Homo-oligomer: A and B are copies of this chain.
Amino acid sequence: MRLSAKADYACRAMAELASTSPPVKAERLATAQNIPLKFLENILLDLKHSGLVESQRGGDGGYWLARDASAITLADVIRAVEGPLAYVRGQRPESLDYTGAAGPLRDVWVALRANVRAVLEEVTLAHMSSGALPASVQELIRDAEAWHSH
């Protein structure tokens, strides 16, 4: 399971946007988050087309969130630049059909997506800029670290 650089950049740029007073220039986001400027501009355009950010041109221009940071989840951001949250072989889990022994696999992918959603739909940009992640997510991290120290 892989998350693209584009999605990672988008999340970082949005986190930065959420904690800077608007409007914010693309160049500032690029240097703050170490993202190639031109690539970032493409991403911001995707985000704008999805209605997550708004912008203004000109000397005093820049970008800002289209709605409150608490009303934008990471899932929204990722979907804006990558399409569906979780897909297998370029298709949605439910549109795959498996024959023979692989039958149950479709259900596994559905479960997998549900668990991906459980994280990405919960975390908002407000969580990001406050630094306090939702309790359910924090618990996952604690468990993961406990696991790791074994």
Smallest Cβ-Cβ distance to A120: which chain B residue = B112
Of all chain B residues, which has the CB nearest A13?
Answer: B102
Q: Compute how far the CA of A3 lies from the CA of B12 in the bound complex, rounded to whole angstroms.
A: 23
Interface of A is mostly: helix
A12 CB contacts on chain B under 8 angstroms: 98, 101-102, 105
Once the chains bind, are B88 and A144 in contact (CB under 8 Å)?
no
Known A15-B102, A102-B15, A133-B104: A111·B141 in contact at CB below 8 Å: yes
A32 CB-CB contact with B under 8 Å: yes
* Interface residues contributed by chain A, number (CB under 8 Å): 61
Q: Does chain B have a CB within 8 A of A100?
A: yes
Residues of A within 8 A of B (CB): 1-5, 8, 11-12, 15-16, 18-20, 32-34, 74, 78, 82, 85-90, 96, 98-105, 107-116, 118-120, 123, 127-129, 131, 133, 137-138, 140-141, 143-145, 147
Q: What would 14 A/B residue contacts be, using CB atoms closer than 8 Å?
A: A1-B3, A1-B78, A2-B90, A8-B105, A15-B100, A32-B100, A103-B131, A104-B127, A107-B133, A111-B119, A111-B133, A114-B140, A114-B147, A115-B115
